[in-house]
Amino acid sequence: MLKEKLKNFKIILASGSPRRQEFFNKLDLDFEIRLKPVKEKYPNRLTYYEISNYLAKLKALPFEGELKTNDILITSDTIVWHKNTALGKPHDEDEAFSILKSLSGTTHEVITSVCFTTTTFEKTLYNITKVTFKELLDKEINFYIKTYKPFDKAGAYGIQEWIGQIGVTKIEGSYFNVMGLPTHLVYKTLNDIANKQ
């Protein structure tokens, strides 16, 4: 369906995340993966979805000047927002433990921003999902960190992994957004772009 509509476009996914790549495959889209290194730093004045929006746009900057007429570049960023703080990816086991301990028995928000860039426009959208964890035991947190090594994940967890299965008691919003991509928004936006051609 959408693949046919987009046959005159080239979709470029600028993400090394295997989960995001898998989502694009499941959306039945032809796409190319193109990666460019970016230092993921943002101004301290930014809060909430401003942070993920900024970082999603930042990831598009290295492609400036090299996009062709029918290219659609997609960049994305996910943060966990908890107690007025953005939780990124943990650097080590101690930080991962500290993050998961802070999420234990509470509700946090997962925010994913997606930036669509062409030669003529840029559009950034975001999606927010609320996730509630049960009170996690220290031994559960330690087992998860040692077994799954969640150092590439914002908030130090993957909801699709063991910790999500045993620990998440409630979700309000898109499950796929928590995994790193609000697929419904991506599908809708690409449809809109295709319909405007």
pLDDT tens-digit map of 17-43:
888 999 999 999 999 999 999 998 999
Active site residue 77: yes
Which of 71, 77, 94, 192 is an active site residue?
A: 77
How far apart are the C-alpha atoms of 3 and 112, rounded to whole Å?
Answer: 24
Tell me the three state secondary structure of residue 119: coil
- Out of 4-8, 71-75, 138-142, 187-191, least confident range: 4-8
> In the prediction, which pLDDT does 47 show?
96
pLDDT tens-digit map of 161-192:
999 999 999 999 999 999 999 999 999 999 99
Tokens of 184: 């419904």
Domain residue spans of the chain: 2-196
- CA-nearest of 183, 93, 112, 116 to 154 is 112
Q: What CATH number has the domain spanning 2-196?
A: 3.90.950.10
Per-residue pLDDT for 197 more than 80? no
